[in-house]
Amino acid sequence: MVKFGDKIARLGVIGALAAGLGAAQPALAQGTIKVGVLHSLSGTMAISETTLKDTILMMVDDVNRKGGLLGKKVEAVVVDPASNWPLFAEKARELLAKEKVAAVFGCWTSVSRKSVLPVFEELNGLLFYPVQYEGEESSRNVFYTGAAPNQQAIPAVEYLMSKDGGEVKRWVLAGTDYVYPRTTNKILEAFLKAKGVKPEDIMINYTPFGHSDWQTIVADIKKFASAGKKTAVVSTINGDANVPFYKELANAGIKATDIPVVAFSVGEEELAGIDTRNLVGHLAAWNYFQSVKNADNSAFIKQWQSFIKNPKRVTNDPMEAHYIGFKMWTQAVQQAGSVEVDAVRQAMYGQKVAAPSGFVAAMNTNHHLSKPVMIGEIRGDGQFDIVWQTKGAIKADAWSPFIPESSKLVADWSYPWVCGNCTAPKFKSLAN
């Protein structure tokens, strides 16, 4: 036993040493274009992020099948930042400095993005960030393909205020205590007050990450709603906590016709983990739903299901964001004729993609997309019925006009601004 153990250990040590040496070697330049995939495959965020990793692998596979990019094959470099925020920064550095990837597709939580942001700015990398987020940011090294608050939260609230939405008068803003819900609720509060909602008709509630016992809060919501005015819940509850929340909601007999719940982080993938028969009618606001009917979307769904070899797998909004982001990046690379970051960035502005949502998504000079806003009601089969959508694509605000400090700021990376958070352009016009 001892001898055997010894041998194994010795092998292990040798292996580890060899590995350390191997890691220190600079990667050899190859005839491929590398893209980094920086999504957690383990830890708490793996639930959501694994799917996005697979989405990028599918897109890479697709582009290679069509002959690659600039005559080269595209190679995905997958790493696992393990839902550990400092590790995100370390892995980002590894992808950019060691693997020399042309672009990185990754991150889900705001804190992971904040953690890698200095790395991308220092090493001049490109990050495509596919998740709806709080805005208040525009980095020249990040393209934000998810929704900003004005592309999700405000239209949803406007819908609920309308006659079709049930003329809601009283609001519960329930969220997980972190920056996205805080920002969204701050914007919504300002918006609601501007619309004449009284402060006593707004209840704000924050819960910790992974909150699992929702009895008290659901009871509170019921109590708040029993005051006689039509009440709705605006939920910015994050990932993991949603399943117990919705289960509690369903069992507490809260029907969508009584107290509708509109969520910004619950899509098809999250619903696949919940029995939705008792949640019919609750809402979600996104820029894409799987139930959208058009040829691009059917192709997208088919491509995904055959890639993942599971005809039941669903598509969702962040996946569509990655689809748009990856397509745009390949187009920009072709246009620039190179994967060099500065050239690609310039080529990104104005880039258009026919998105599965049925609209044309366009990249703006504030590094955010123009996308449509859709509001869906949950069906019994875990899909959404689209009950309202914008006429056209809405341009994302990097800086919210509803927050006093940020309303002054402008994000525009084209001449003469060339800035993500400025109150005046960087360059003065030469004519004057």
Partner 1 sequence: MGALLTPRGWWALIGSGLIAAVGVPLANLLPAPGSALHLPDYMVPLLGKYACFAILALSLDLVWGYAGILSLGHGAFFALGGYCMGMHLMRQIGPRGVYGHPVLPDFMVFLNWKELPWYWQGFDQFWFAALMAMLVPGALALAFGYFAFRSRVTGVYLSIITQALTFALLLAFFRNDMGFGGNNGLTDFKDILGFPVQARATRLGLFVASVAALGASFLICRLVVASKLGRVLLAIRDAESRVRFLGYSVTNAKLFAFVLSATMAGVAGALYVPQVGIINPSEFSPANSIEIAIWVAVGGRGTLIGAVAGAGLVNGAKSWLTGVAPELWLFALGALFVVVTLFLPRGIVGLAARWKAREP
Partner 2 sequence: MIVMFRFLACLWFLLAAPAFADPLADLIPKLGRGGFADKAEVAAELGALGDGRAIAALRALADGKLVTRADGSVAIAEPAGEGVKLAHPLTGADLGTSAADTVERIRINNRLRAAIAAALGALQIFSPNPEERLAAAREAAKAPTPELALALDKALAAETVPAVRAALRSAQAAVQLSVGTIEQRIRAVEALSAATDPQVRNLLRQVAQAAEAPAELRAAAETALRSIERRLQLAGLAEILFQGVSLGSVLLLAAIGLAITFGVMGVINMAHGEMIMIGAYTAFVVQEIFRAYLPPDAVDLYLPAAVPAAFLAAALVGIALERGVIRFLYGRALETLLATWGISLMLQQAVRSVFGAPNKEVANPAWMTGGFEPVGGFFVAYNRLAIVVFCFLVLGAIALILRRTAFGLHVRAVTQNRDMAKAMGIPVARIDALTFGLGSGIAGMAGVALSQIGNVSPNLGQIYIVDSFMVVVFGGVGSLLGTLAGAMTLGVINKLLEPVAGAVLGKIVVLAAIIVFIQRRPRGLFAPRGRAAEG
- Site residues for partner 2, 264-293, by CB under 8 A, read 269-270, 272-275, 277-278, 281, 283
From 4-12, 65-73, 165-173, 349-357, give the range in contact with partner 1 by CB under 8 A: 4-12
Q: Tell me whether residue 238 or residue 351 sits nearer to partner 2 (CB atom).
A: 238
The partner in contact with residue 267, picked from partner 1, partner 2, none with C-beta cut-offs of 5 to 8 angstroms by kind, is: none
Let me know if 115 is exposed, middle or buried by CB neighbors in 10 A (0-12, 13-18, 19+): buried
Residues sharing a CB contact under 8 Å with residue 393, sequence separation 6 or more, in sequence order: 359, 360, 361, 362, 370, 371, 372
Do residues 212 and 222 make contact, with C-beta atoms less than 8 angstroms apart? no
Q: What are phi and psi of 400, to 5 degrees?
A: -80, 135
- With CB under 8 A as the rule, give the number of residues binding partner 2: 61
Binding site partner of 94, from partner 2, partner 1, none, Cβ cut-off 5-8 A by kind: partner 1
Structure tokens at 129: 């960030």
| Least distance in angstroms from the C-beta of 47 to partner 1 | 15
Query: In the window 221-240, what residues touch partner 1 (CB under 8 A)?
Result: none
Q: What is the DSSP letter of 277?
A: G
Q: Which two tokens stand for residue 105?
A: 């597709």
Q: Where are the beta strands (DSSP E) in 318-380?
A: 352-354, 360-363, 369-371, 374-378
Question: 136 touches which of partner 1, partner 2, none (CB within 5 to 8 A by kind)?
Answer: partner 1
CA proximity to 170, closest of 234, 266, 237, 238: 234
CB-based contacts of 198, cutoff 8 Å, min separation 6: none
Contact 162, 424 (CB under 8 A): no
Tell me: does residue 97 bind partner 1 (CB under 8 A): yes
Q: Which of 276, 67, 275, 263 is nearest to 180 (CA)?
A: 263
- Quick note: the x/- pattern for partner 1 over 26-45, rule CB under 8 A, is x--------------xx---
What is the footprint of partner 1 within residues 281-300 (CB under 8 A)?
none
297, 162, 172: which is closest to 236 by C-alpha?
A: 172
By a kind-dependent CB cut-off of 5 to 8 A, residue 51 interacts, out of partner 1, partner 2, none, with partner 2
| Residue 165, φ and ψ in degrees, nearest 5 | -80, -5
Q: Toward partner 1, which CB reaches closer, 323 or 399?
A: 399
Q: Cβ closer to partner 1: 183 or 357?
A: 183
**Nearest distance in Å: CB 238, partner 1:** 10
Phi, psi of 289 (to 5 degrees): -130, 150
| Nearest alpha-carbon partner for 316 in 352, 292, 280, 282 | 292
Residue 100 is a binding residue for partner 1 (CB under 8 A):
no
Q: To which residue do tokens 């996104």 refer? A: 286
User: Footprint of partner 2 on this chain (CB under 8 A)?
Assistant: 41-44, 46-51, 163-166, 177, 205-208, 210-213, 215-217, 219-220, 222-223, 226-228, 240, 243-244, 247-248, 250-253, 256-257, 260, 269-270, 272-275, 277-278, 281, 283, 377, 379-380, 385-387
User: Footprint of partner 1 on this chain (CB under 8 A)?
Assistant: 1-2, 4-6, 8-10, 12-13, 16, 19-20, 22-26, 41-42, 78-82, 84-87, 89-91, 93-94, 96-98, 109-111, 114-115, 117-119, 122, 136-137, 177-179, 182-183, 186, 206, 208-209, 403, 405-406, 409, 421
